[in-house]
Structure 1
Amino acid sequence: MIEQLDRIKNKLEQLKRFDKDLKLFGADTHEYLLNPILTSEQVTQFETDHKIDLPKDYVSFLTTIGNGGAGPFYGVNTLGDSRIIYFDNKEKGNHQYFDLSKAFPHIESWNVENELQELYEKIEKANEAGNEELEEELFKQKWEIIGGEEHDFGRLNTTDYGCGVTISLIVNGQEKGNMWTDDRTNDAGLYPTIELGNKGRITFLNWYELWLDNSLKEIQSKTQNGR
């Protein structure tokens, strides 16, 4: 793991040098800057408070690389902010949070497409009939179906992919240590992360390094093509 952490540091420095104009997606948000690292004591206190043991590679990142900052897409959230349920529609300081002490319930991709399809047909008919009250009630039913609290167990909101999609690190349950995508907003459900082109399950450090590798190839290609 030490070798991988050293590789990550070196690759991040390379990427920062090569992409001085912040051309890559998300770079103008995080600007390749990392937040200060956490101490082992701070991480241990977090684990104690939330009755979990964080994946070891993630802990190593927090205590060696940084507490969030530069990373895939719009950057990596801090440990504290990663507890916030992204679309909780709460004012700042009154957020809803993931329950880390309970196990993430899924081991395979999850969706309710068929059930939603029937509901969408009812929503469309209500819209065509101008029945706003029924339409609103049906949309509430939709979110009751896909927004059950069990989906918010045992995971951290690691990064914002954009367009309502977030990527999580599973910290409790059979999928502990793996990255999962939450695209319920766009009716694609929850599934093991594939956005960086990986073919199977991927852990935090491997996910982060894959982003670096992909980004270095992309910026080098842009440089060679004069873009």
Structure 2
Amino acid sequence: MTNIEWSTVRERVTALSRTPPDRVFGAYGHEWALEPPLRPAELAELEEQLGVRLPEDYRSFLLEVSRGGAGPFYGLFPLRRVDGRWGWHGDGGDLTALDTLAEPFPHTAPFNPAAGLPEPPDPEEFDTVEEFDAAEDAYWELHDRVAYDPKHTVGTLYLSHLGCAYRQMLVVSGPERGTMWADDSADDSGFSPLAGPDGERVSFARWYLDWLDRATAEAGAPAR
């Protein structure tokens, strides 16, 4: 998406702030608050620290709209400058590995790192509780080492959470740069690109503006 029109976003979000928060999912989390945008010098410092240029639509959003706040689900993780270092904060914002954002995200199709793992141990197969507990501990140590290996999410930054540890992220490096992906590893479903009705990839701008359109429709719908 090019030549994105961000100029009405803050006005539309302000209008939505008069909506009862239970009308739009996640509004209790962000309360329709948009933080100030970044100044160009701040964006330049951020990208210098990260060693990567962010996708153009997200860059323009940061400069023209906001550094975080009201957005899909429970809102956009806000950018903070703490002790001279920029980073994303919030419930999952710290999952973004700042030192690997310039490394190419290695995937171009849905993948589930936990798919090849064995089944969890069955307590009926053990003679004692202690033996089962040891086997279960070993299984979950293996599971977490495989399913949550940081190599799966290099080149991505986490932008929002949906609750229950489901999150969505923006790819900033590699062949999928500029596309939004879902991290559903919380229920062992792995990772997958967000897609439109015809299977097309979803950019940050489309992801955000589609949410804004849905929120506007939900806010204007008859109360249930």
When normalised by structure 2's length, the TM-score is 0.84
Task: Report the residue type matching 1:124 in the other structure.
Answer: P
The residue aligned with 1:86 is 92
Whole-angstrom CA distance in 2 between matches of 1:178 and 1:158:
12
Task: Report the residue type matching 1:105 in the other structure.
Answer: P
The residue aligned with 1:188 is 189
The residue aligned with 1:91 is none
Secondary structure of 1:6's counterpart equals coil
Matched, 1:133 2:130: no
Q: Which runs of 4+ in 1 moved over 6 A?
A: none
Post-superposition CA distance 1:46-102 (Å, at most 9, x none): 1111110101111111111111000010100123443789397xxxxxx88342121
Judged with a 3 Å threshold, the aligned counterparts in structure 2 of structure 1 residues 104 and 127 are, in CA distance, closer, same or farther, namely farther
- How far the C-alpha of 1:197 sits from its partner, in A, is 7.1
Secondary structure of 2:215's counterpart equals helix
Is the Cα contact below 8 Å between 2:159 and 2:170 reproduced in 1?
A: yes
Is the Cα contact below 8 Å between 1:39 and 1:63 reproduced in 2?
A: yes
Task: Report the residue type matching 2:72 in the other structure.
Answer: P
Aligned residues: 212
Q: Considering only aligned residues, what root-mean-square deviation do their CA atoms show, in Å? A: 2.6
Q: Percent identity?
A: 29
Matched, 1:212 2:212: yes
Task: Report the residue type matching 1:82 in the other structure.
Answer: W
Whole-angstrom CA distance in 1 between matches of 2:109 and 2:141:
26
- How far the C-alpha of 1:43 sits from its partner, in A, is 0.9
Task: Report the residue type matching 1:110 in the other structure.
Answer: F
Judged with a 3 Å threshold, the aligned counterparts in structure 2 of structure 1 residues 87 and 59 are, in CA distance, closer, same or farther, namely closer
Task: Report the residue type matching 1:86 in the other structure.
Answer: G
When normalised by structure 1's length, the TM-score is 0.83
- How far the C-alpha of 1:134 sits from its partner, in A, is 1.1
Unpaired runs of at least 5, structure 1: 89-94
- How far the C-alpha of 1:9 sits from its partner, in A, is 3.1
| Bigger fraction of residues in helix | 1
The residue aligned with 1:153 is 154
Matches within 5 A, 1:27-46: 27-46=27-46
